[in-house]
Amino acid sequence: MTKFSDLALSPKVLKAVEAAGYETPTPIQAGAIPPALEGRDVLGIAQTGTGKTASFTLPMITLLARGRARARMPRSLVLCPTRELAAQVAENFDTYAQNVKLTKALLIGGVSFKEQDQLIDRGVDVLIATPGRLLDHFERGKLLLTGVQIMVVDEADRMLDMGFIPDIERIFSLTPFTRQTLFFSATMAPEIERITNTFLSNPERIEVARQATASETIAQEVVLMKPSRRDRAAKEKRDLLRALIEREGEACTNAIVFCNRKVDVDILTKSLKKHGYDAAAIHGDLDQSQRTRTLDAFRDRSLRFLVASDVAARGLDIPSVSHVFNYDVPSHSEDYVHRIGRTGRAGRDGKAVMISAPIDDKNLSAIEKLIDKPIPRAENPLGNTAATEDGPAEQPKRGRGKPKETKSEDTPAPAPKAEASQSQQNRNSRSGGRDGGGNKTVGMGDHMPSFIAMSFDERKAG
C-alpha cells in the first residue's frame, strides 16, 4: 500500500501531513502527486470527497519551497468556483505549509480591494482566487500573471455550470505558455474536454472513479410526494421534510438541506426555525462574513442544519455530515452527485434523502440515468398525500362571468316537453300535416296562423 513517504514529497511537507493525522494517500492523491512533482500537467477526474485538494497543494508546496515572489507577480495560481471553496483551499495551504515559508493571498468577493491589494503588492507565492475577483484586480492594473509557474483549476465542471469558462480561457491566455497546469474535475463535459485539449500539454490523466458516481458509503433514497392541491404544495413539502428529519431521529446529528433557489433557502430556513430546529441559511446573496460565520458554526457542531443553495455543494470539506436532504430535485443531474458527496466523506457512512414530486419526474430519471442505478424509494412518513382515490376536489375556475348553476338533489327536473300542443295536434289532424303525410309542423309554435297549416288542396278549395 502506498504511503505519503513514498511520494517524494519534501520532509517538511511530510511532517505537516503527519501532524494532520494522515498516513495513506487516497487514490487520486497517489496518482496525481508523482507526475505533478515531475513538472507534468495533470488531469485529475475523481468524485467529490476523495481528497483532490491535497492532490495539488502538497506538490505545489514542495515545488515552491525554493524561490521568492516579486511584487504583484504571484508564482502560482489556484482558481476556485466559489468563495467558500477558495477559503477552504487557503486553509489547506496553511495546514500543509506550516513548516515552509510561503506567502499566500486570497482574492474573493465580499472583502475590500484595499486589503487584497496590500497582500499582492508584497508579493505572494500562492494566489487563490475566484475568476471574477481575479480579473477585477487585473483590470485595475494591480496584478500581473506573467510570473505564474503553476496554475490549478479546481472543480472545473462547477466552473462550467456557473458560466466561468470564458473567464478561465482568458486567464489561461494571460499566463505563460510554459506554466505547469493541474486540472481537476468530478465530471468531464465536452466543453471541459475541449479546454483541456487546448491548454494542457500531454497531461497525465488520473481517473480514479467512473465519472459522476456517488460514494458507496452513502445510503440513498427518494421519497415521493403528491400535493393534495397546487396551492398547498409548498407547505406540504415543508411538513414532509420535518417528518423525514424526525424519522431519522438521533442518527441525524447534522445535515445540509439543499434547495434549487435562493428564495426557497430563506423561506425554508425561517420555517425550520419557527418549528424549533437549529438552522441557518447560506447562499450567494449573503455577505461573505455572514457566510463564513455560518460555515464555522456548522463545522464546530454549534449549528445542526445548514440550508444551502448549490454554492455549498462543491468541494466544501465539512467533516462528519451525517445527512444530506435534497429538498428540491436538482435540475442538473451532476449536481446530485456533488450534493450528496457532502456526506459519507473519508470512508464514513452517510445518508442522502431526496423529496420528489410529480413535476420532478424528468429530473429524477436523468439522475438515475447518470448514476446508472435506480434510487430506492422510501415510504412517505406522512402517508399518501395524494388525497382520495377519486383525486383532489376540483377547484372552481376563476372568471368574470356568473357561475353556472349546479343541480342538487332537491332541484326538480324539468318536465319533459309535450310532443305537441293540443291546438297544434288539432290543426295537424285536420290538415294531415304540411306535406299531407300527417307529419307535424315543427318550429312555429301555437301562435302560427291557421292558414299556414292548411294543405294546398284546402287553400285551393277555399
pLDDT, tens digit, 9 for 90 and up, residues 301-340: 999 999 998 876 555 677 789 999 999 999 888 789 888 9
The pLDDT of residue 7: 92
Confidence band, pLDDT 50/70/90 cuts, at residue 13: very high
CB atoms closer than 10 angstroms to residue 447: 5
* R_g of the chain, CA atoms, integer Å: 36
Q: Which residue has the cell 445518508?
A: 351
* Average pLDDT, rounded, for the chain: 83
Give me the mean pLDDT over the 138-159 stretch. 92
Confidence band, pLDDT 50/70/90 cuts, at residue 70: confident
Is the pLDDT reported for residue 196 higher than 90? yes
Give the 3-state secondary structure of residue 305: strand
- Phi and psi, residue 170, nearest 5°: -65, -40
The pLDDT of residue 126: 95
The CA-based dihedral angle spanning residues 138, 143, 146, 150, taken in that order and rounded to the nearest 10 degrees: -100
Confidence band, pLDDT 50/70/90 cuts, at residue 21: confident
More confident residue, 237 or 425: 237
More confident residue, 99 or 459: 99
Ramachandran class of 71: left when φ > 0, alpha when ψ lies in -120 to 50, beta otherwise: beta
The pLDDT of residue 342: 86
More confident residue, 214 or 264: 264
Q: Could you tell me the fold of the domain covering 218-378? A: Rossmann fold (3.40.50)
Is the pLDDT reported for residue 25 higher than 80? yes
- Domain extent listing, the chain: 4-207, 218-378, 422-461
Minimal CA–CA distance to 324: which of 354, 281, 348, 360? 354
Same CATH fold, 218-378 and 4-207? yes
- Give the least confident one: 221-225, 310-314, 371-375: 310-314
CA distance 276 to 238: 14
The pLDDT of residue 383: 82
Minimal CA–CA distance to 77: which of 146, 9, 12, 7? 146
Give me the mean pLDDT over the 414-427 stretch. 48
The pLDDT of residue 69: 80
CA angle 169, 175, 178 (to 5 degrees): 115
Is the pLDDT reported for residue 450 higher than 90? no
23-36 in b/e burial notation, b at 16+ Cβ within 10 A? eebbbbbbbbbbbb
Q: Highest-confidence range of 52-66, 150-164, 280-294, 410-424, by mean pLDDT? A: 52-66
The pLDDT of residue 115: 87
CB 38 within 8 A of CB 32: no
Is the pLDDT reported for residue 357 higher than 90? yes
Is the pLDDT reported for residue 80 higher than 80? yes
Confidence band, pLDDT 50/70/90 cuts, at residue 213: low
- Give the least confident one: 80-94, 111-125, 397-411: 397-411
The pLDDT of residue 318: 79
Selected from 3.30.460.80, 3.40.1710.10, 3.30.70.600, 3.40.50.300, the CATH number assigned to the domain covering 4-207 reads 3.40.50.300
